[in-house]
Amino acid sequence: MNDDRCCSSSGGALLAFLAGGLVGAGLALLYAPVSGREARERIGGLAGDLRKKSEEWTGEVKQKVEGFIDEERSVIKAAYDAGREAMAREKARFENPKPE
């Protein structure tokens, strides 16, 4: 059995891709022929950009999840209500059988 739970979904693959890109960008900045101060400023700017993008991404994901939950809640409620109605009909049918 193949055990690929880490990156089995497209979200996991995207996250792994972004993490690899960030590590690569960080290493490129560290090995670039610039002064230490300039390298730290670049890394700080990169971290700030990453923070902004992650906040935007988490906001979008949160909205999608909330929408999905609302949709599923309405489906489950409709199924529950239909089940209660069916149970009430069957209960009434057995409590008041038709005379033959």
pLDDT in tens, 26-57: 777 677 777 778 777 877 888 888 888 888 88
The CA distances from residue 62 to 28, 54, 67, 69, in Å, are 33, 12, 9, 10
Characterize 20-49 residue by residue with b for buried, 16 or more Cβ atoms within 10 angstroms of its Cβ, and e for exposed: eeeeeeeeebeeeeeeeeebeebeeeeeee
Q: What is the pLDDT of residues 78-90, one digit of tens each?
A: 999 999 999 999 8
This model's pTM is above 0.75: no
Kindly report which listed range (8-12, 73-77, 92-96) carries the lowest average pLDDT score: 8-12
